[in-house]
């Protein structure tokens, strides 16, 4: 639906909605003003996550964890715990003030459990703990009808929370110290056993520090290995010299360490031999020079032989010394390596014992230090959680907030009123406006007749013999309403007669779904309006069960259509014409007759056939279609059918059933006429208010 329709719905029910909203606001104000005022006090607790937990040790280091949300959520739950709230509740009797003791006692009696009511966890309904966003603050709020009690309770809960956290820390430190002291005895015994095992092992090795001993043996072994290698090289060299010297050659003897003396003697011997050869050439054997030179050569030869023998002896001795030194170094090297291997094989066991002893000692010392730190830190009251701002008695109450309550009542009542108006509009199944009829019934609305308040829901006579020509008995402003109704009837007449220019409308049936919907009044005014145009018009009252046309025109009804159908007389003999409207002829229904109702099909068809040749328009007022058989026969013999409905009262299902029946009979349904419409019924009727204004302005002009 368009937005304008919803606006119209709200506008239609505006006074009801306004009355409902004002009543809700007034009731809210009245109730709120009688409620006992409630005061709220707030104690602020500051939580510093960067403050160290202790004064020494690792707890003295500033914390840098990023669990602020989880930590603060834990603290909020801790504040609401029974251990924190119970002392405060017992001190100020908060449970009695909140009425929880009676509730717990009642629940205990109903359940008949073994737990006593006073043993149940303390939960304070008036307590609220909150954390402002992006802060490390905890707001402890408590509400009470006594402002001083609210402040005292909030401060007491904050102090109880601080004391509880301190007690938790004390108990935790004490428990930790007791546990570590028990472990300390075991560690001391274990450390003593490992130290004694290490000392016994050193005693068995006959060394103080096997590691240093191993290092000395390693260096000595390296040195002996080097000397042994050199001794082998020296022995090989001496052996080579000895073998050379033993070969007997002078060159081999000269290659030894004493070769220089032997070379010099050999040179002197060569010189002496050359000199002896020269002397021998000049002198004889008995010559003193000869004997001198010969003695010199013999002496040098003897010295050379003696030196050679000495060299050979020395070479042999040096070779023996080299061999002996090599054997000695080999033996020493083997002994040193054996001792190194033996000590090295025990060193792994020593290292294991030493590590175990050192670890036990270190753990023991660390545990002793921890016990001392725990004892010192246990007596340190942590300042990371502190009372930043104490609660003070409030001056103004937080409840009831009369302005807020009234404002909420206005908003909620307005929404409820709007919702009720929309729901009522949705649940309304009556025929109201043309758009709705076209959308739901697949037909057209050919006219809408406004409601006239002076008629009180029922249209008055079309002709008043006392006052002459008139549509209704109107008084005062009723004439303006009648003028609007006349214009609506003229519009309906033109809508019917001008709807199909190719086919001239000569006969018209006016019916409705149910009684009291204004079909007879509509038929009477429609015929009257057509006659005022100077057109010959015949109005037939076909409602033989409940005729009403004669009352609207103040004409006798003792004879009429029923007499024509029973062939008592001709229809032209029974026509009545009002004095002021000569072009209008009326055929009353006549006296009720069951036999006439059965003959209405054939007899009425003959009347209409003759009447349409003499009159410009024949208007037939038929009974309601639902529940009666006559209108079904009438609908098949007329040129067009108009269904009159009462806007806002006739059900869409009833109108739909009528239209379906007429379409099944292949009757020419011209459309639906909405009767008794007014501007508050739908947004489509806003213009009906203009009639009275226009005629009022015209009268003044």
pLDDT (tens digit per residue) in 207-250: 545 555 556 667 777 787 788 788 778 777 777 767 766 665 55
Flag whether 168 is in a domain: no
Confidence check: pLDDT of 135 > 90: no
471 lies in the same domain as 539: yes
457 lies in the same domain as 372: no
pTM beyond cutoff 0.85? no
- 643 contacts 659 by C-beta, under 8 angstroms: yes
User: What is the arithmetic mean of pLDDT over 503-529?
Assistant: 87
664 lies in the same domain as 562: yes
Integer Cα distance of 629 and 612 in angstroms: 24
Contacts of 215 (CB under 8 A, 6+ apart): none
* Per-residue pLDDT, 412: 93
CATH number of the domain to which 310 belongs: 1.10.287
User: What is the torsional sign of CA 431, 437, 443, 445?
Assistant: positive
Domain boundary among the residues 378, 407, 438 is at 378
Flag whether 193 is in a domain: no
Confidence check: pLDDT of 666 > 80: yes
Q: Nearest Cα to 615, choosing from 512, 534, 554, 525?
A: 534
Residue 538's pLDDT band, with cuts at 50, 70 and 90, is very high
287 lies in the same domain as 367: yes
604 lies in the same domain as 475: yes
- 154 contacts 142 by C-beta, under 8 angstroms: yes
- 255 contacts 263 by C-beta, under 8 angstroms: no
CATH number of the domain to which 554 belongs: 3.40.50.300
439 lies in the same domain as 361: no
Interhelix angle for 259-282 vs 288-378, to 10°?
Answer: 170
Flag whether 503 is in a domain: yes
Domain boundary among the residues 315, 349, 378 is at 378
Which residue did the predictor score with more confidence, 599 or 468? 599
| ω into 268 cis (within 30 of 0) | no
Integer Cα distance of 129 and 81 in angstroms: 12
Residues spanned by the domain of 635: 428-700
Q: What percent of the chain has pLDDT over 70?
A: 74
Residue 128's pLDDT band, with cuts at 50, 70 and 90, is very high
576 lies in the same domain as 465: yes
Flag whether 66 is in a domain: no
**Mean of the per-residue pLDDT values for the chain?**
77
User: What is the arithmetic mean of pLDDT over 59-63?
Assistant: 52
Backbone angles phi, psi at 399, to 5 degrees: -135, 140
Radius of gyration for the chain, computed over Cα atoms and rounded to the nearest angstrom:
69
214 lies in the same domain as 279: yes
421-469 confidence digits (pLDDT tens): 888 877 777 777 677 777 778 888 888 788 765 444 344 445 544 333 3
Flag whether 43 is in a domain: no
Give the side-chain half-sphere CA count within 13 A for 204: 12
Confidence check: pLDDT of 543 > 90: no
495 lies in the same domain as 583: yes
Confidence check: pLDDT of 693 > 80: no
Most confidently predicted of 22-36, 87-101, 433-447, 488-502 = 22-36
Integer Cα distance of 386 and 47 in angstroms: 7
Flag whether 125 is in a domain: no
Integer Cα distance of 540 and 560 in angstroms: 9
Tally of structural domains, the chain: 2
∠ Cα 406 410 414 (to 5°): 165
Contacts of 688 (CB under 8 A, 6+ apart): 450, 484, 677, 678, 679
Integer Cα distance of 642 and 489 in angstroms: 13
* Per-residue pLDDT, 679: 64
435 lies in the same domain as 530: yes
Find the largest Cα–Cα distance for the chain: 227
Integer Cα distance of 25 and 32 in angstroms: 10
Integer Cα distance of 286 and 357 in angstroms: 101
Flag whether 89 is in a domain: no
Q: In what order do the strands lie in the sheet with 669-677?
A: 445-450, 669-677, 640-646, 507-512, 617-621, 537-541, 584-587
363 lies in the same domain as 433: no
343 lies in the same domain as 228: yes
Flag whether 106 is in a domain: no
Alpha helix segments (H runs only) across 247-258? 250-254
Helices (runs of H) and strands (runs of E) counted in the chain: 22, 11
Burial-class residue 357 by CB neighbours within 10 Å (0-12, 13-18, 19+). buried
In 267-412 the beta strands, taken as DSSP E runs, fall at 385-389
């Amino acid at each position: 639906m368009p937005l304008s329709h919803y606006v119209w719905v709200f506008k239609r029910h505006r006074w009801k909605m306004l009355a409902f909203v004002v009543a809700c606001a007034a009731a809210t104000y009245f109730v709120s003003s009688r409620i006992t005022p409630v005061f709220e006090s707030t104690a602020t607790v500051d939580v510093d996550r960067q403050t160290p937990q202790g004064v020494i040790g690792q707890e003295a280091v500033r914390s840098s964890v990023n669990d602020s949300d989880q930590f603060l959520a834990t603290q909020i739950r801790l504040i609401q715990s029974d251990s924190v709230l119970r002392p405060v509740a017992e001190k100020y009797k908060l449970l009695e003030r909140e009425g929880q003791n009676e509730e717990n006692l009642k629940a205990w009696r109903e359940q008949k459990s073994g737990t006593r009511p006073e043993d149940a966890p303390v939960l304070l309904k008036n307590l609220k703990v909150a954390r402002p966003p992006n802060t490390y603050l905890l707001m402890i709020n408590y509400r009470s009808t006594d402002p001083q009690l609210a402040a005292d309770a909030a401060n007491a809960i904050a102090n109880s929370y601080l004391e509880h956290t301190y007690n938790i820390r004390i108990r935790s430190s004490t428990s930790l110290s007791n546990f570590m002291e028990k472990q300390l005895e075991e560690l001391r015994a274990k450390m003593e056993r490992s130290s004694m095992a290490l000392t016994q092992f050193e005693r068995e090795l006959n060394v103080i520090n096997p590691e240093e001993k191993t290092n000395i043996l390693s260096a000595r072994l390296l040195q002996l290995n080097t000397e042994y290698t050199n001794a082998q090289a020296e022995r090989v060299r001496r052996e080579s010299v000895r073998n050379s010297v033993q070969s007997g050659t002078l060159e081999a003897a000269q290659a030894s360490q004493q070769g220089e003396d032997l070379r010099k003697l050999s040179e002197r011997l060569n010189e002496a031999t050359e000199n002896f050869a020269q002397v021998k050439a000049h002198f004889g054997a008995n010559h003193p020079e000869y004997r001198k030179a010969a003695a010199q050569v013999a002496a040098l030869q003897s010295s050379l032989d003696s030196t050679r023998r000495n060299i050979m002896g020395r070479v042999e001795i040096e070779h023996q010394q080299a061999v002996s030194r090599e054997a000695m170094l080999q033996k020493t090297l083997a002994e040193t390596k054996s001792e190194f291997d033996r000590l090295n094989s025990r060193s792994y066991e020593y290292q294991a014992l030493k590590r175990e002893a050192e670890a036990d000692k270190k753990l023991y010392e660390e545990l002793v230090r921890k016990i001392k730190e725990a004892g010192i830190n246990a007596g340190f009251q942590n300042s990371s959680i502190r009372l930043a701002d104490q609660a003070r008695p409030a001056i103004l109450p937080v409840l009831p907030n009369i302005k807020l309550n009234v404002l909420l009542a206005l908003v909620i009542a307005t929404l409820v009123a709007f919702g009720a108006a929309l729901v009522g509009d949705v649940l309304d199944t009556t025929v109201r406006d043309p758009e709705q009829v076209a959308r739901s019934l697949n037909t057209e609305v050919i006219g809408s007749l406004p409601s006239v308040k002076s008629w009180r829901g029922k249209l008055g006579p079309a002709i008043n013999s006392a006052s002459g020509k008139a549509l209704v008995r109107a008084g005062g402003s009723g004439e303006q309403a009648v003028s609007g109704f006349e214009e609506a009837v003229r519009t309906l007449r033109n809508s019917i007669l001008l709807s199909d220019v190719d086919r001239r409308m000569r006969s018209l049936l006016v019916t409705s779904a149910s009684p009291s919907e204004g079909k007879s009044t509509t038929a009477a005014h429609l015929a009257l309006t057509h006659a005022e145009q100077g057109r010959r018009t015949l109005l037939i009252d076909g409602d033989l069960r409940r005729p009403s046309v004669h009352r609207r025109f103040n004409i006798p009804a003792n004879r009429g259509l029923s007499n024509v159908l029973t062939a008592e007389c001709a229809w032209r003999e029974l026509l009545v014409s009002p004095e002021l409207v000569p072009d209008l002829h009326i055929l009353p229904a006549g006296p009720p007759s069951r036999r006439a109702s059965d003959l209405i099909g054939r007899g009425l068809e003959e009347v209409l056939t003759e009447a349409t040749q003499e009159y410009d328009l024949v208007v037939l007022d038929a009974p309601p279609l639902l529940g009666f058989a006559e209108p079904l026969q009438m609908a098949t013999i007329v040129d067009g059918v108009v269904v009159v409905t009462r806007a806002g009262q006739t059900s869409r299902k009833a109108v739909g059933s009528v239209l379906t029946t007429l379409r099944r009979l292949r009757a020419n349904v011209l459309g639906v006429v909405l009767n008794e419409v007014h501007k508050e019924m739908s947004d489509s009727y806003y213009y009906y208010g203009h009639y009275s204004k226009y005629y009022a302005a015209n009268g003044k002009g």
